[in-house]
Amino acid sequence: MYSVDIDVGGTLTDGLFSDGHRTVCTKVDSTPHDLTVCLFDCLSQGAAQLGFSDLGSLLEKMELLRWSTTITSNVLAELRGPKLGLLVSQGHEKDLYGSDDSSVLLNKLVDEKNVIGIDGVHDPAVLNAVRLLLENGVRRICISLKGALQDPEGEQRIKRIIDEQYPDHYLGSVPVLTGSDVCQNTDDTTRTYYAVINAYLHSALAATLFKAEDELRYTQGYSRAFLISHINGGVAGVSKTRAIDTLESGPVLGIYGAAYLAKTYGVKRVLAMDVGGTTAKLGVIRDGEPLHTQQSDLFGIPVRVNLPFLRSIALGGGSVVTVKDNGVRLGPESMGSFPGPVCYALGGDKATLTDAFVTAGLIDPEYFLGGNKHLDLAAAREAIESQVARPQGTFVEDACCAVIDGAYDMVAGMIVKASQELQQDLSDHVLFAYGGNGGLFACGVAQRAGIRTTYLFDLGPVFSAFGSSVSDICHVYERSFHLLLRDGAEVAPLNQVLEEMRNQGMRDLLGEGITPENTECFVELEVSRAGDTTLCVKCPQVRFDNGAELRSVLTPDFPRGDATVELVRMRVKKGISKPALVMKEKGDHDPSGAQLGMRRVMMQGGGQQEAALYRWELLRPGNVVPGGSILESANSTYLVPPGWNLEMDHYGNALIRRGTS
């Protein structure tokens, strides 16, 4: 039986098909007008590569399908969600309970005229507010009152008033949700932001997921697990997925994939760098686990939620190159998969980073994506010459180097900013580089960031799909819970909450047709003390005998004074099959059996030289490739510049070191 993982990127959609022994990768163009199209394109291509006569034959042999999409990220980034209405406590129409006079949400996700303050929950006031919102054309209403997490009855009362007046069997009905239902965070601002973001994204995600599920179930006859990737690194069924759960789920899965390999290799400190066709992203891994932060950012919207540390910039292969103030600028505009870079010959007329790579000789136009897509070298060169070289009064070769160096500088700048934000020197970390362009960026970025060691991966071009493939089914439950941590603290209420969460997790798994046997539950408690930063403490147990035991587990970082539990979080995780990492014996160092020849290229730092070409798939464990080489695979290209050396390891991945021989 096969497990299939598909990740929709901004430019390309990646697929990973595995039966536990054999693994096949696919790449197809993303179809932003309808992401179900690229989903089925990817499935069909995988079926063909595996030797099935048609898609139906593969689906009969599929145990589960995991899908991560960019739907919600695209809607939020492009601000094309529905018109929302928001009811808040009177006096907080502008600040939305935050410290700023005007919230970042206003006139971004919700028009300020559609934010109405409510003083109490009286029927006339509520109905007048709703009538005004409907006259303004809102399609979904959020209710988020101050302090509603501790006392949600006010929100629920307003919701009942609206539902009674506008029942869902009438055409005039408008979906209503409350902040306390969506998010259990004690911070009123974060809870409000979560509710608004979820409402803003819900319709677009639901339409696509339901369409995909209907096509799979009723047209194709697929009856097994169809799971959606979540930002927490797990996957869950469509019915247990909130729209906000899927934001940046693909990049986060890449971080979890990197964490999985960090554990495999025993590497303690890792920077996970993902460079694709549209964006570049950075995560941090410590002791085999993604670094989390309490202060997260969702496309410029700050939230106090415990999420993996992830930073991104609008830079990828499709980034448009322009000349500004006699210098080169990349992005934020991207040509995406259609019309794509000029070299795609699909109508794109703006020079991109990919055009620079092709012109520089780093990407073979005849072997792009294993030869499945032929690129127009002449068109790429003309675009770089006319749009970059001539305006700067320089040669095409120099223009290409300026573009590529600028791209490396931008990604290295992410590491500098992350170092400042985390207040730590990150140059002692190992760089894990992946994504469709990760192999071309790895050494250039590492050199600028002072990093001496980097890894490239056989599954690097489909790394988010790989991260999905090593993810378990995971449901996350949160409950606001106030408990003063003293030795004599009463723990029975906490034990009751933990038991309720566990039982809900078991029911949810059963509701998805998944047996809950061998399910693990992990508890996290957010602990704070006045004047101190809130800490997220992971607990080795799901039940406590007394207050002294609870305090000893939770407060080693608060040795003086009392601390308070503010939030209870439980992760209910069900392990599922994962592709096997196959170890092979190391051979000799000679890579000549994989060498294809030589090609003149523009290398890092400027200047042309003859580069040795190797076929990635023909390299064997133990082979050492010297600097000044290019490795080509069916799905990506890897650059080993002068001063670096690459060695293939026993997993078929590559370790690259600077200044070694």
Query: What pLDDT, on a 0 to 100 scale, did the predictor assign at position 22?
Result: 85
The CATH number of whichever domain residue 53 belongs to comes to 3.30.420.40
Residue 142 lies in a domain: yes
Residues 40 and 144 in one domain: no
The CATH number of whichever domain residue 158 belongs to comes to 3.40.1360
Give residue 67's identity as a one-letter amino acid code: W
Of 215, 246, 277, the domain-final residue = 246
Give residue 547's identity as a one-letter amino acid code: G
Residues 527 and 624 in one domain: no
Query: Which tokens belong to 388?
Result: 């970059």
Residues 520 and 490 in one domain: yes
Helical ranges in 433-582 per DSSP H: 438-449, 463-469, 492-511, 547-554
pLDDT in tens, 186-238: 889 999 999 999 999 999 899 999 999 999 999 999 988 899 998 887 788 88
Residue 453 lies in a domain: no
Q: What's the predicted TM-score (pTM) here? A: 0.89
Q: Tally DSSP H helices, then E strands, for the chain.
A: 16, 33
Residues 209 and 189 in one domain: no
| Residue spans of the chain under pLDDT 70 | 530-533, 555-561, 604-607, 660-661
Residues 180 and 103 in one domain: yes
Residue 412 lies in a domain: no
CA distance 525 to 497: 12
pLDDT in tens, 20-35: 788 899 999 888 888 9
Residues 620 and 653 in one domain: yes
Which domain range does residue 22 map to?
2-76+205-246
Angle between helix 71-78 and 188-214 (nearest 10):
130
Residues 92 and 184 in one domain: yes
Residues contacting residue 345 through CB under 8 Å, at least 6 positions apart: 375, 376, 379
Residues 480 and 556 in one domain: yes
Residues 209 and 72 in one domain: yes
Residue 305 lies in a domain: no
Query: What pLDDT, on a 0 to 100 scale, did the predictor assign at position 661?
Result: 47
Residues 50 and 93 in one domain: no
Count of structural domains, the chain: 4
CA distance 180 to 151: 9
Residue 88 lies in a domain: yes
Residues 95 and 68 in one domain: no
Evaluate whether 511 touches 477 at the Cβ level (below 8 Å): no
Residue 40 lies in a domain: yes
Residue 331 lies in a domain: no
CA distance 639 to 449: 17
Residues contacting residue 3 through CB under 8 Å, at least 6 positions apart: 17, 18, 19, 62, 63, 64, 65, 66, 469, 576, 577, 578, 579
Residue 400 lies in a domain: no
Evaluate whether 140 touches 174 at the Cβ level (below 8 Å): yes
> Where would I find the beta strands (DSSP E) of 152-243?
176-178, 225-229, 235-237
Query: What pLDDT, on a 0 to 100 scale, did the predictor assign at position 532?
Result: 65
Evaluate whether 492 touches 545 at the Cβ level (below 8 Å): no
Of 214, 246, 278, the domain-final residue = 246
Backbone angles phi, psi at 374, to 5 degrees: -90, 135
Residues 8 and 101 in one domain: no
CA distance 71 to 467: 19
Of 574, 607, 623, the domain-final residue = 574
